Chains A and B, each alone.
Chain A
Amino acid sequence: MTALLWRAGRWRFAVFCVLAALQGLAPAAAIAASGVLVSGLPADPAQATVGLALFGASLLTGTVLAAVLDHEAAVLDGRFARTIHETVAHATLRTDVERLVDPRTTGELGALAEFERVDGFVGTVTALRELLRQRATGVGAAVVLATFAWWAPLVMFLGWRGLSFGVRKWLDHGMNLGAQQGEKALRRARYLRGLAVDSPAAKEIRVFGLARWLVPLYRDSYLAALEVLWEGRRLGMRTVLAATGGVLLAHLIVLTAIARTTTPAEIVVYAQAVLSTSALGYVFGAEIPLARARKVAELALTLADRLATTRTPANRTANAIELRNVHFAYPGRDDEVLAGVELTVPKGQSLAIVGENGAGKSTLVNLLCGIYRPQQGEIAMPGEVSAIVQRFTRFELSLRDNIGFGADDEAVHKALERAGGLSLLDDLPHGWDTMLSSSHPNGRDLSGGQWQKVALARALLAVETGAEVLIMDEPSANLDVLAEEELFARFSNLAGEITTILVSHRLASVRHADRIVVIADGRIAEDGTHAELMAANGRYAAMYSLQAERFAEKEWSHA
Chain B
Amino acid sequence: MREIRVLVATAWRVDRRLTLAMIAEPLGNTLVLMSGLWLAMLTDGVLQHDQRQVVIGIAALVLGAGLGWQLDLSASQWRMVLGEKVAHAFDTEIARLCAELPTLDHFERSEYQDQLELLRQRQGQLGNSMSALAVTVKATCAGLTVLILLVVAHPAMLALVLLALPALLITKTQQRWRATAEDRSALPGRTARHLRTVAQDRDAAVEIRLFGLADNLERRIDALWRSQREPIDRAERKVALASLAQQLLYVTGVIAAVGFVLDQAIQGRSAPGDVVLAIYLSQQVQTAVLWPIQAVTGFGRTLHTVRRYLWLVDHASAATPTGHLPAPERIVEGIRLENVSFRYPGTEKWVLRNVSLTIPAGGALAVVGENGAGKTTLVKLLTRMYEPTEGRITVDGIDLADLDAEQWRERLAAAFQDFARFELTVRHAVGVGDLPRLDDPAHVQAALERAGADVLPQEARLGASWGGRDLSTGQWQRLALARGLARTTPLVRFFDEPTASLDAFTEDALFGSMARATDGANGMITILVTHRFSTVRSADLIVVLADGGVAELGSHHDLLARNGRYARLYRSQADAFAG
Contacts and interface: CB of A to CB of B under 8 A. Distances in A.
Judge: A and B partners, yes or no: yes
Interface string A493-513: 000000000000101110000
Nearest to B423: A191
A10 B236 CA distance: 21
A391 B110 contact: no
Nearest to A93: B214
Contacts of A19: none
A312 interface: no
Interface stretch (A317-325, A339-347, A365-373): A365-373
Interface residues of A, number: 169
A157 interface: no
A396 B195 CA distance: 8
A255 B62 contact: yes
A89 B199 contact: yes
A55 B540 CA distance: 93
A103 B363 CA distance: 47
B202 A101 contact: yes
Most chain A CB inside 10 Å of its own CB: which residue of B104, B207, B282: B207
Nearest to A471: B210
B545 to A, nearest CB: 11
B88 interface: yes
Contacts of A349: none
Interface in B490-521: 494, 497, 500-508, 511-512, 514-518, 520
Given A41-B275, A267-B46, A362-B472, A211 B96 contact: yes
A328 interface: no
Contacts of B255: 52, 55-56, 59-60
Given A389-B203, A551-B534, A215 B99 contact: yes
A480 B98 contact: no
B83 to A, nearest CB: 9
Interface string A28-66: 001000100110011001001000100110011001101
In which size bucket is the chain B interface?
A: 35 or more
A71 B573 contact: no
Nearest to B208: A93
Interface string B393-419: 000000000000010011011101111
A545 B190 CA distance: 49
Contact of A248 (B66, B111, B213): B66
B35 interface: yes
Q: Describe B's contact surface by its main secondary structure.
A: helix
A92 interface: yes
A206 B420 contact: no
A450 interface: yes
Given A369-B206, A395-B198, A89 B221 contact: yes
A509 B520 contact: no
Contact of A449 (B100, B194, B248, B371): B371
A386 B210 contact: yes
B445 interface: no
B526 A554 contact: no
A210 interface: yes
B42 A78 contact: no
Contacts, number: 477
B42 A271 contact: yes
A505 B503 contact: yes
A259 B61 CA distance: 12
B418 A288 contact: no
Contacts of A55: 255, 258, 279
A449 B553 CA distance: 24
B362 interface: yes
Contact of A200 (B280, B370, B420, B516): B420
Given A282-B73, A551-B577, A272 B39 contact: yes
B407 to A, nearest CB: 10
B331 interface: no
B258 A201 contact: no
A383 interface: no
Contacts of A226: 84-85, 88
Given A197-B98, A218-B92, A223-B88, A547 B504 contact: yes
Interface string A189-204: 0010101110111111
A387 B62 CA distance: 73
Interface string B552-579: 0000000000000000010011101100
B265 interface: yes
A210 B435 contact: yes
Interface stretch (A113-121, A142-150, A521-529): A113-121
B525 to A, nearest CB: 10
Given A207-B412, A393-B203, 19 more contacts: A48-B262, A59-B254, A67-B241, A202-B107, A206-B102, A210-B435, A211-B96, A211-B99, A230-B81, A240-B73, A264-B276, A267-B46, A391-B473, A458-B207, A484-B531, A505-B502, A543-B504, A556-B535, A558-B516
23 contacts: A52-B258, A70-B243, A82-B222, A101-B465, A197-B95, A197-B98, A200-B420, A201-B422, A206-B409, A233-B81, A237-B77, A240-B73, A256-B58, A275-B61, A362-B473, A370-B209, A393-B204, A439-B190, A450-B371, A478-B371, A478-B417, A479-B371, A550-B508
